[in-house]
A and B are shown apart, each in its own frame.
Chain A
Amino acid sequence: MDCKKREELTGDYLTGGLETGKKAEFEEHLNACAACKGELELFSRTWELMDAYKTPELSGDFTPSLMRRIRAEGSAEEPENGLGQWWKVPAMTLASCAIYLLCVETAILPSRDGAPNSPATEGSVTLADMLKEGRDSGGLDLLELVAKGGGK
């Protein structure tokens, strides 16, 4: 084994990844080559130096403060499942009603000539048109229907 090969295999040697035969060859080279032996020692000493990088101790309040945060976040989320969301149901209901009315207006509501109202139908009248025209339209409009129904 030459120095270049030793250099290539150093990583595997240090991480215990060399198979027995290669490991023996590697160590044999180290025993014969002072430069490579010194180089490997530098790796080991560097790794030992890493101990100098200490970390401070965590503050004693870490766990109590963590639990306070967890409880606070938990209690802040609770209303989301209760009254905090009260407006969402009516909003959905209102949206559904609006869509329903739109469908009724464009597809089901009879036009002046009695045929189903459709955007493609020439001369068809929409709810908006009827409301704009009001009683001047001359036909049986929604306002009349409502008035008649309410009078019964």
Chain B
Amino acid sequence: MLAFKDGDDDRFVELVEALKQRVFAFAFRFLGNAADAEDAAQEVFIKVYNARDAYVPSARFTTWLFTITRNTCLNLLEKRKKTSSVSLDEMLPGPDGPPARQLADSKDVPPAELALDKELASAVKEAVDSLPENQRTAVLLCRYSGLSYDAAAEVMGCSVKAVKSVLHRAKTGLKEKLAYLLKR
């Protein structure tokens, strides 16, 4: 990041290559679909590029990156609410299982996963999607993005204690929602 900050665009490309999948994965799980997630990831890296002069080397880069990612996703969600291009009915589970939108977009679930355990993947996705925003963010940061509690607290703008508390509420919610799968 420091080399890129000095104006080296090749280093920026290296940075994107190293982190794009993590940013995309966060956005995918936050927004629920691949097209929006890819747009969000592009927007994140454009913001990083344009804000390189504002980056303070003392700040942990991943913390800075995920703060931008989370804010970008929140903005996209806001925009989506306003335009409401996707109706709520499309997001709700169909009578025979997972939401129709998930099945319609083959990019959302990798083919291997579809073959192995489509139902499990859909159930977990649905459970994560149904969490309140702060709980979902805590799960995405700590469980999927591998951030420490300290880093997650910085991204979420709250204390470490609050992150742990939110995360525990999320786990309790997930446990209840996925209990039927665990009892099999």
Contacts and interface: CB of A to CB of B under 8 A. Distances in A.
B50 to A, nearest CB: 8
Contacts of B91: none
Given A14-B168, A43-B171, A54-B121, A69 B46 contact: yes
Contacts of B128: 50, 53
Main secondary structure of the interface of B (DSSP, over half): helix
A51 to B, nearest CB: 8
Contacts of B20: 58, 62-63
Contacts of A66: 16, 42, 45-46
Contacts of A144: none
B145 to A, nearest CB: 11
Contacts, number: 95
Contact of B13 (A43, A57, A67): A67
A54 B110 contact: yes
A79 to B, nearest CB: 18
A20 to B, nearest CB: 18
A50 B144 contact: yes
B21 A57 contact: yes
Interface string A22-62: 00000000000000000000110111011011111111001
Interface string B96-115: 00000000000111100100
A56 B109 contact: yes
Contact of A49 (B41, B108, B120): B120
A15 interface: yes
Interface in B157-180: 164-165, 167-168, 171, 174-175, 178-179
Nearest to B174: A46
Interface residues of B, number: 45
B76 interface: no
A54 B120 contact: no
Contacts of B179: 42
Label chain A's interface by main secondary structure. helix
Contacts of B21: 57-58
Contacts of A50: 124, 128, 139, 143-144, 174
Interface string B124-167: 11001000000000010001100001000000000000001101
Given A52-B124, A58-B20, 9 more contacts: A11-B165, A15-B168, A42-B175, A42-B179, A42-B182, A52-B113, A58-B24, A62-B24, A63-B16
22 contacts: A11-B171, A15-B168, A17-B164, A42-B175, A42-B179, A46-B174, A46-B175, A46-B182, A49-B182, A50-B128, A52-B121, A53-B121, A53-B128, A54-B110, A57-B110, A58-B20, A62-B16, A62-B20, A62-B24, A62-B38, A66-B16, A66-B42
Interface of A: 10-12, 14-15, 17, 42-43, 45-47, 49-50, 52-59, 62-63, 65-67, 69-70, 73
